[in-house]
Structure 1
Amino acid sequence: MARSAAAKKVAKAASAGGSGRSFRPRRDILFPAAMLLVVLLGVVLILVARNERSSNAPAGPPRLGDHWHSLYAIYDCDDFILDLYPNDVDDQSGIHTHGDGLIHIHPFHTGVTGQFATVGAFMREIEFELTDSRIELPDGTILDESGEGCASPDPDSDDPDVAEPGAELRIMRWETLQAEKALAFTEDLRDVRFLDDGQIFVFAFVHPSIENADVPRPDDAFLRAYLNLPPEDQPLIDGSTEEGPVLDDGSDSEPVEGDLPATSGPAETSEPAEG
């Protein structure tokens, strides 16, 4: 009887082992599923962020890789200020000047491309303080609405020698070298944009009675010569100590008083439809 009972136990154990239901381990799928979910969520977030960056990216030129040049000058009442101010600090944005009377526009990052490529970005880079009524130059010179030197005959006086002082700040922008008319901006001056290669900007303090057409356009010969140079003959955009372009004869040339800017006569102007 003992032998028979033992044999039954052995047979029962063998039968249970062969079925595989009691001893096969269960595979836990919760952890792999959770990891897969995390990966999918990360991919979705990356795609959403990329789309948001694309939709918020500055629209239009200048873009990264562009390299433009514009002429700028400051007109104070009846004459141009001939002092030219190079960057005194390392160029951070790519919209700066070498002290050559030109604005070099080659954005380093998207923060100064498209609608963010503005006069305000340039002024910030060269450490000018600009508002809609005031400019403070790096040497401490302040130009404002007090209009010292700007005067116009007082319309309420019979004496033509009685002058009415005062000034307002306008930014005059000639869209191209060929443009005869300039747009005049008097508000939101820091938002005035750079729109193309070869534009001309004048920061003009003039008496309010002065017509836009009477604000003179600076001599653009220097800019014209510069734009005709091959890129390898233009000043370096970083770390350059040059203050003027290499001209066709291969000699270095620095702007001298009287060369830039000079009056080339008044140009008709029109008020801007937009800033």
Structure 2
Amino acid sequence: MGKASSSKKVARLAQKGKGRKVRFQGGTLFPALVVGLAVAGTALIIYSRESIPNLNTPPTVEDHWHASYGFYACDEWLPDLAGNKEEQSTDGQLVNNEFRRTGIHSHEDGVIHWHPFSSESTGRNAKLGVFLDVYGIKFGNDKLEMPADQGSAVYEEGTTKCTDKDGKSVDGELVVYAFNAYDTPTDFTTYITNFTDVRLKQDGMAFAIVFAPAGENPGLPPSAASLPELGAADGGTTGQTSTTIAGATTVPGATTIAGASTVPGVTTVPSTATSSTVVDTSEPTTTAG
């Protein structure tokens, strides 16, 4: 009987408790404030990490970098972008809002002149899209559009045709080849999507923006051969530093060790060492170069 009575009490209490709200002592205002502050704090941390560039990551506002660039359509290099975007209004203000904001432009020489005015173009914000925005160029995953002052050409996958080596009309594909050094045509990364997010990671790089039949790589842009001279004419320097160890051969931007082979920005050691590959998932989609 005792067990049955206890069970009935529990059932009655449960029945009485239906529909009742559980309240914190002193009301629900304080717990709600705590939860709200926690959510707001988390959101601010995420925003700050995404929006504030790494101040220790070059280029900084103290840097003056140069990179070769070129647009290649089907079977030829297009003319360099026109204008330096330094035009000023009557009150001495820069007319081009994007150039005024970032400080990135060209001098009609096939060279990206990267001397940041602000954090909008420093560190992780140093991306190809910053330069293209200054010239009003729209560059999506499947379409490249030039503004009126650059000829108004449009290159779209599935619509614009190219002629292949056999004389056949074929679809073109958009690709960006990012060369780590202006004088090393074999050291590059191939990007097939998110082109405006391709980063400028060091001085002396080269970028080939290509619309051509699948698999075609035209190589370094024409301005790459003269990049050091063109950079020097602008008051900056272009060149990647080299570290030499006795008995070794060096290339721009590389540290070499006797008996090792090198490519710019990469140190390789004899076969006794192991190597690893790191994939940065924040980068645009790439294919093996």
Q: Tell me if structure 2 keeps the 8 A contact 1:95–1:103.
A: yes
Show the counterpart of 1:217.
220
The answer to whether residue 111 in structure 2 is matched with residue 102 in structure 1 is yes
**Offset, 1:83:** 4.2
Partner in structure 2 of residue 67 of structure 1: 64
TM value normalised by structure 1: 0.57
Q: Deviation per CA, 1:187-237: give whole Å up to 9, x if none.
A: 1111001111111111100112x344xx23223232121234582899xxx
SS at 1:70 equivalent: strand
Q: Residue by residue, what CA displacement relative to the aligned partner does 1:9-51 show, whole Å, maximum 9, x if unpaired?
A: xxxxxxxxxxxxxxxxxxxxxxxxxxxxxxxxxxxxxxxx9xx
Counterpart contact for 2:65–2:237, Cα < 8 Å: no
Q: Of the two, which has the highest radius of gyration?
A: 1
Match for residue 45 of structure 1? Answer: none
Q: Quote how far apart the aligned CAs of 1:135 are.
A: 1.5
For 1:112, the equivalent position in structure 2 comes to: 121
- Match in the other structure for 1:165: 170
Contact kept, 8 Å, 1:120 with 1:191, in 2: the verdict is yes
Q: TM-score, normalised by structure 2?
A: 0.54
Amino acid at match of 2:191: F
Partner residue of 1:199 out of 188, 202, 205: 205
1:30 counterpart residue number: none
Equivalent of residue 138 in structure 2, options 129, 134, 139: 129
Q: Which moved more, 1:95-104 or 1:85-94?
A: 85-94
Q: Which of 141, 150, 158 is the equivalent residue of 2:153?
A: 141
1:168 to 1:101, Cα distance in 2 relative to 1, 3 A: same
Which amino acid counterpart does residue 126 of structure 1 have in structure 2? Y
SS for the counterpart of 2:67 is: strand
Identity %: 28
SS at match of 2:229: helix
Q: Distance in 2 between matches of 1:232 and 1:119?
A: 20
Task: Give unpaired runs (5+ residues) of structure 2.
Answer: 1-43, 86-94, 239-277, 285-289
- RMSD between aligned residues: 3.1
What is the match of residue 176 of structure 1?
A: 181
2-structure distance, mates of 1:196, 1:97 = 17
Counterpart-to-counterpart distance in 1, 2:213 and 2:196: 21
